[in-house]
Amino acid sequence: MRTAKTIFFPAPRKIEIRETPLPPLKEDEVRVETVRSAISAGTEMLVYRGQFPQLRDAHDPLSSELEYPLAFGYACVGVIGETGKQVDRSLQGKLVFAFHPHASSFIVHPSSLMLIPESISPESACFLPNVETAVNLVQDGAPILGERVLVLGQGVVGLLTASLLSEFPLERLLTADQFESRRKASSEIEGVVSIDLRGADYPTHLTHSFSYAQEKFDLTFELSGSPSALNDAISLTAFSGRIVIGSWYGQKRAEINLGEDFHRSRIKLISSQVSTISPELSGRWDKSRRFDVAWKALERIKPEKWITHRFPIEEAEKAYRLLDENPQETIQIIFDYSK
């Protein structure tokens, strides 16, 4: 019987590599041999730390009814190996993407796979879920010609969102993050200024450092993963501005100050999550169209430049511990199954 090495989360801050049996291949299925998979620093850290809530009716099946022990992850790139009798054999050897937990191989129906364009490398393809998220965020924010835009948080989703926003004719595009390596990566995006958000008074620092910030921002994206950053977003967003909240906070809590400027500001708080498409767009947009946009964005941005660490799956515990204890050293961590 074939087996696969699969990463399991048996308890908070625990990682196991299990040899899991692969079921017999059905006539309408294929076996995928994984070559790369990417860690989601936001969602997977909530799972690793045990900070995820119980979402019984989530639109996102990946976030529904999570409980230990579980295999998790959703960014696998692999090559189709064996195919069932009813499957077109020309698919053998094709490079594909799958929303699948970290595993050295797996069996699925071909309809759950996406063929990766030849112009995109396997490592860049690992970023597809995050690029789709960034596309969704920008669509929900709907930036307007000449606006001032702020992005809080320059992890992978923040960097991708800033990259897409840099293609718009904005007046200003400012990003903020507490880690130097992420600010440096952000500053290398054309048209972006990135600042340090360390310290409770960084909005004051921002206002003093950039004269235009005194006029505040028309559109703010909160992508830091820290619920307390919502206070900063509110204080820096202009009258009748929009705040797009893309972070999933899990069980993390913070006091949000809605008793001062917010009450009279008419600021709109927009919850943005990639599992669904905004009702305003769903009459013309579906997931397929959004993925087409995401693939093209991947080709332009080439996000593999943000990969800071590559681990074999056998060293998964080391990879998650690094991300948990020293996030300032990382941007994107991937598993390389050829090691």
pLDDT tens digit sequence for 310-326: 999 999 999 999 999 99
Q: Is 13 left (phi over 0), alpha (psi -120 to 50) or beta?
A: left
Cβ–Cβ under 8 Å, residues 156 and 189: no
The pLDDT assigned to 144 comes to 97
**pLDDT of 174-211, one tens digit each?**
999 999 999 999 999 999 999 986 654 555 555 555 55
Buried b (16+ CB within 10 A) or exposed e, 31-60: bbebbbbbbbbbbbbbbbbeebeeeeeeee
pTM of the model: 0.91
Domain-by-domain residue ranges, the chain?
3-121+302-336, 130-271
Helices (H) and strands (E) in the chain, counts: 10, 16
pLDDT-derived band at 56 (thresholds 50, 70, 90) equals very low
The pLDDT assigned to 55 comes to 43
The pLDDT assigned to 211 comes to 52
**d(C-alpha 40, C-alpha 43), whole Å:** 6
Match domain 130-271 to its CATH number in 3.40.50.10800, 3.20.20.70, 3.40.50.720, 3.40.50.1580.
3.40.50.720
Fold of 3-121+302-336: Quinone Oxidoreductase; Chain A, domain 1 (3.90.180)
Which among 301, 295, 303, 308 is positioned nearest to 334, based on CA atoms?
A: 308
Q: Is 143 left (phi over 0), alpha (psi -120 to 50) or beta?
A: beta
The pLDDT assigned to 208 comes to 52
**d(C-alpha 296, C-alpha 274), whole Å:** 17
**pLDDT of 267-326, one tens digit each?**
999 999 898 999 999 999 999 999 999 999 999 999 999 999 999 999 999 999 999 999
Q: Decide whether 3-121+302-336 matches 130-271 in CATH topology.
A: no
Whose structure tokens read 């190996």?
81
Q: Answer whether the bond into residue 69 is a cis peptide, omega within 30°.
A: yes
Cβ–Cβ under 8 Å, residues 249 and 225: yes
SS (H, E, C) 165-204: HCCCCCCEEEEEECCHHHHHHHHCCCCCEEEECCCCCHHH
